[in-house]
Amino acid sequence: MPTAFRIFPVIAVLLLAACHKEERVNISRPQVAVGQGIASDTLSGSVKGTMLSGKTYYFRTDITINAGDTLLMQPGVKLIALGDGASYSTSPQITVNGTLISTGTQENQNWITVPAEKKTTANIFKGFWGGIQCGANSGNVIIRWTHIEYVGGPAGPANDPSLYTSGSPRYGLVYSNMSGNIILEDSWITASKDDGMRVLAGQFSIMRNTFEANGESGGESFNCKSGALGDIGYNVFIGAATNGCKISNSGGTTVQCNTVIYNNTFVDCGFRQVQTGRGGSINYEKGAKGMIYNNMIVNCRYATRLTTDADLTNIAYDNQYFYATSNVLFTQFYPATGVAVAKGNDVKGTTPGDKKPLFASYPIDEFDFSKVTIPMSITAMSPYMYQTSSSNFRPTPGSPTLNKGKTNFQPLKKTTATGDYAANVSMPGADIGAYQNDGSGNLH
């Protein structure tokens, strides 16, 4: 664990219980802080310390957390990027060589975003800023209840040439420390010009997040490579250009990429990727291994895809739910470009439109996928196809996804952060998808 990470105290929530339930008193925890509180509302250069609850901060040029330093965002912090997406120098990034922690809460969320007037449909893929770029020796990155938005500015001379070519869009969040931890919980990655998140190496836990509108004409919501080990559970992936999750052992480390993907919901993914046979939901390739259970895949261009060069003997999968309103999608639940096959506990109808998921709120039959021309631009998609604000993907009574999940397997639980900063890993659920009938799972 990085030295900077050790300075955080573990602060418990104390519960004083009397004999009667009504006499129980909750003692709230104080705000966590590290180093000095940051008083200035403008950040530039090297930064460390505590961004204070309720404050709004701005950055117009790159900011860097140096090795050994920690930057902490208390609940209710807004960090506004003042970039234009036109060039590297005018699209600032957050460079993390130390430790970054965002402690947003459900009631008091954090934001790393752009000015409100720039948050328009026309600007979804403008890439106004350069994302969170973590160095190969960075400390832990722990992000909770935080919105990361409108990211993907052009790469430049300070970026890793093995990852980016000059001028290519930067990914929303990149992590690459083989011995470090990246924990993303209950957060949003929205409107990224390319990959929403890429883990090149390290231990990760990706729990209960929402990935929206990731990739303009290519790119995944979540993409991981050789040396990456972790769990992806209870996330919603909606409107990705290519896949919700791409799992690959490319990259050449000595640690095989291994992931457990379970209880996620994938909706309307894969339609902005021009290449045939790619794009839709879950893709394992190039020697990657893992487990795939309890995922809901609805109206995606393709569903579960395992390529011939994946570590097929070490990939287990079953208990998937598939739904499509058109025959074009219905025939691609296991695409011909891969070698995955139907499993005995899969749930799917016998014809397009059969066995609807019965979401609480989502216009599942409104779009005619039989008339889709690939690639489909974001402007050809209705907003409900790439954002979740008007939808509720919780299944209602009678849904064919209820009580069809597999629960007798374990997530990897590879992250090593402890105390208040330990990963909150949700265990496999009895219902397929990111939302459980008992109210647990994704909380968005």
Q: In what order do the strands lie in the sheet with 99-103?
A: 49-51, 70-73, 99-103, 141-144, 181-185, 202-207, 228-233, 258-262, 289-293, 315-318
Over the stretch 366-418, which tens digit does the pLDDT of each residue have? Answer: 999 999 999 999 999 999 999 998 899 999 999 999 999 999 999 999 999 99
Radius of gyration of the CA atoms of the chain, in A:
21
201, HSE (Cβ side, Cα atoms, 13 Å): 20
Percent of the chain exceeding pLDDT 70 equals 93
C-alpha distances in Å from residue 437, one per residue of 55, 187, 293, 360, 396: 37, 21, 17, 11, 8
Structure tokens at 383: 């907003």
- 107 touches 141 (CB < 8 A): no
Give the integer Cα–Cα distance in Å for 275 and 267: 19
- pLDDT at residue 186, rounded to an integer: 98
The domain limits of the chain are 3-421
CA distance 98 to 175: 12
- Residue 44's identity, in one-letter code, is S
Q: Mind listing the pLDDT tens digit for each residue in 233-285? A: 999 999 999 999 999 999 989 999 999 999 999 999 999 998 877 777 999 99
Write down the pTM of the prediction.
0.92
- Give the DSSP H/E element, type plus range, for residue 369: none
Name residue, tokens 């074009």. 328
The owner of tokens 């209880």 is 263
What distance in Å separates the CA atoms of residue 105 and residue 144, rounded to the nearest whole number? 7
Q: What is the pLDDT along the chain (444 residues), one digit of tens a residue?
A: 333 333 333 333 323 333 333 333 444 456 888 889 999 999 999 999 999 999 999 999 999 999 999 999 999 999 999 999 999 999 999 999 999 999 999 999 999 999 999 999 999 999 999 999 999 999 999 999 999 999 999 999 989 999 999 999 999 999 999 999 999 999 999 999 999 999 999 999 999 999 999 999 999 999 999 999 999 999 999 999 999 999 999 998 999 999 999 999 999 999 999 887 777 799 999 999 999 999 999 999 999 999 999 999 999 999 999 999 999 999 999 888 999 999 999 999 999 999 999 999 999 999 999 999 999 999 999 999 999 988 999 999 999 999 999 999 999 999 999 999 999 999 999 999 999 999 999 999
